[in-house]
Amino acid sequence: MKRDTFRFETRLPEFTREMERALNTALNRIGLDWQKWSKIAAPLITGRLKSSITFSTPTVQATTTPMIGAPFTPPEPPPFTVQVGTNVEYAPAVHEGIDAGTEIKVPRHSVKAHSRTTKSGTHHVSAHERGPYTFASPGRTPNKFIEGPGTEHAERYQRMIIDALREEGEL
């Protein structure tokens, strides 16, 4: 019995490194999968929101945390996490929805040169500044494009962790 305990204790640092490597592999796979499903679930208007969705896996506690909106500086995440999110300012409004009549404030911004087609023909508009102004939102129903896939695929992600541990030979 003492001999087995000694072998385990001498192998403990190696075992820990192998376990961390397997979990990091699993978390990167989960992050890629969750990112993919979030991009599929996100509404497509200009493509900016979809293309901004990304994930991070700070070095290795096996939890998943949605991050939505900007500016956002997350606290130092615990080890073994996957964070999926976006830094697009309007992402919280898409994800959580907006009540009809909510006042939206638009800051001063630049508008690129573009063409506008009307009944009287095509008009070329030069670059100019617009804003600031406010308008009443027509409302928007929530689209849980980040949180949804993480919840819907939780069992799949558990299997990914188990599979990575098996590949590493820890299970």
What are the sequence ranges of the domains in the chain? 11-99+139-168, 103-136
pTM of the model: 0.67
Return the pLDDT at 170: 57
Q: Is the pLDDT score of 65 beyond 70?
A: no
> CA angle at residue 63 from 59 to 69, to 5 degrees?
85
Give 17's DSSP letter: H
Cβ–Cβ < 8 Å for 108, 131: yes
Mean pLDDT value across the chain:
82
CA 131 to chain centre: 30
> Could you give the angle at which helices 2-41 and 154-168 cross, rounded to 10 degrees?
140
Choose between 137 and 152: higher pLDDT.
152
Contact in structure between 135 and 106 (CB atoms under 8 Å)? yes
For the stretch 7-39, pLDDT in tens is 666 777 777 788 888 888 999 999 999 999 999
pLDDT at 162 (0 to 100): 92
Mean pLDDT of 82-102: 88
Percent of the chain with pLDDT over 70: 81
